[in-house]
A and B are shown apart, each in its own frame.
Chain A
């Protein structure tokens, strides 16, 4: 107990647990569309202008870009020329391959040759995002664009902050991002919660927690920007991944003090933390607390709980929970069933797990490669090799990948029965389907065969 097959780990991390992360972004639907129209080239016009934007510029030479623009405006019809987005995307494709100074000169040229063109905020955002992506280690280029913007009468606003911070973070310049966000908060406009949370998330990835806390404190004390529920969810998620559940408890207490009410995402994150530490009972406690506070559990809640309970050997409770889940109107998915199967296989009830596979297919939930790997692992551990071989046939037919643990267990089980040729065949499939690296697949095969040879010499194996 305690350990669980890697096949299973990926099921959880890829489906149920990570759902917490995107969910934070789902809360900002009104936000992204704006950004898209601002930064990217508009789709409808691309159909009208045949040259694809990416291959528009072959060199970063300014003169060529200018002449290309000239020929472009002389060949394009009038109504299209008034469209600022088209010009923005033209500028953007040039900035992506050239220097900032050249891009500014190109913009000047564009305005001069086409007087009807009046750059707006978004045009400068294009320049700003490029200047932040440049790998040079100072903020001077970003400041240059900002000065340019202010001179033209556009005061930087929340979107400007956001564009700059996201570009800086994607270039890995987190330090500069912190500097810039402070500068913005004191001079121009405060960042909105999305920008703030995005930066906190980036900080959590690259910094120790204390420096993240000090950043949050500083923003709170100097600019009155308070962390919200999403911020706390991000923090708790990172704390839990570092297996520091006590800190998570402390954070929950802090956020309650601030007058925030935990939602389902936050509870799911804490539950995940307990499950990682193998404390299924604690996760159930959180679940009860959640219900008491009137927070409606969702699919991820149930998946996390069933996973946690199966992991620490309380399959009975997990099964009960599955019933509750169905009664409350949630459809169990592949992750739910795979979690439960894993628990049953650990208990040695492989046949029960196999019948669960049938049940799940009956209910129209299609198993994924992880489900099969879990079962294959279970069959081999439970000494039901023939069933395992059958299942391997299904895996192979579906072109699914084998996972390290199930591959190793399967190869060992085959060799134990003296079916070496079949083990070689599995090795071939593992290499062919790129499930494992060649080296990993070979070392497993080699050490298994070495063990078999020794066992034969001692008269222990066939």
Chain B
């Protein structure tokens, strides 16, 4: 029962939803792959997944593994092979949480001021 409730909480949570569908300015590596300067987290995942499907990059012997081509390698930490299990996590790396970023910058700012 619990997971269902949790899932409902996740989809009902507007912030979580916003993180998935808000457009984000992309770093250059991702920009080259996607071909546009802004995309949402969800859109990016869909793009990568459909790229894998259209180019038949899934390993024929083990469908759960993706053999990366050069283009895909550039955005997935340079790995030769990626398991489908870790795909969402790898893509998530490109979309760090906004709040944490702010928090981090705040901390570094504190450290800097203290050291001065």
Set of chain A residues within 8 Å of B100, measured between Cβ atoms = none
**How many chain A residues touch the partner (CB < 8 A)?**
28
User: CB of B34 within 8 A of chain A?
Assistant: no
Among B1, B3, B20, B58, the residue within 8 A (CB) of A442 is: B20
User: CB of B32 within 8 A of chain A?
Assistant: no
User: CB of A453 within 8 A of chain B?
Assistant: yes
Q: How far is the CA of A5 from the CA of B76 in the complex (A)?
A: 37
Set of chain B residues within 8 Å of A452, measured between Cβ atoms = 85
User: CB of B64 within 8 A of chain A?
Assistant: yes
Q: Which of A13-32 contact B (CB under 8 A)?
A: none
Mostly helix, strand, loop or mixed at chain B's interface? helix
> Is the pair A421, B84 in contact by a Cβ cutoff of 8 Å?
yes
> Is the pair B10, A447 in contact by a Cβ cutoff of 8 Å?
yes
Q: Which of A211-270 contact B (CB under 8 A)?
A: none
Interface string of A411-429 (1 = CB under 8 A from B): 0100100111110100000
> Is the pair A439, B58 in contact by a Cβ cutoff of 8 Å?
no
Set of chain B residues within 8 Å of A415, measured between Cβ atoms = 85
Set of chain A residues within 8 Å of B21, measured between Cβ atoms = 439
Which stretch of B23-31, B42-50, B67-75, B108-116 is in the interface? B42-50
> Is the pair A446, B7 in contact by a Cβ cutoff of 8 Å?
no
Q: How far is the CA of A449 from the CA of B90 in the complex (A)?
A: 12
Set of chain A residues within 8 Å of B10, measured between Cβ atoms = 443, 447
Q: How far is the CA of A445 from the CA of B85 in the complex (A)?
A: 10
Q: Residue on A with the closest CB to B62?
A: A421
CB distance from A244 to the nearest CB of B (A): 24
Q: Residue on A with the closest CB to B43?
A: A438
User: CB of A3 within 8 A of chain B?
Assistant: yes
Q: How far is the CA of A228 from the CA of B56 in the complex (A)?
A: 67
CB distance from B89 to the nearest CB of A (A): 7
Contact A449/B20 with A421-B58, A421-B64, A443-B7 known, Cβ cut-off 8 Å = no
> Is the pair A453, B89 in contact by a Cβ cutoff of 8 Å?
yes
User: CB of A440 within 8 A of chain B?
Assistant: yes
Given A422-B63, A438-B46, A442-B88, 8 further pairs, Cβ under 8 A = A408-B4, A420-B85, A421-B63, A421-B64, A424-B49, A442-B20, A447-B6, A453-B89
Chain A residues packing against B (C-beta within 8 Å): 3, 404-405, 408, 412, 415, 418-422, 424, 431, 437-440, 442-447, 449-450, 452-453, 456
Chain B residues packing against A (C-beta within 8 Å): 1, 3-4, 6-7, 10-11, 16-17, 20-21, 42, 45-46, 49, 58, 63-64, 83-89, 92
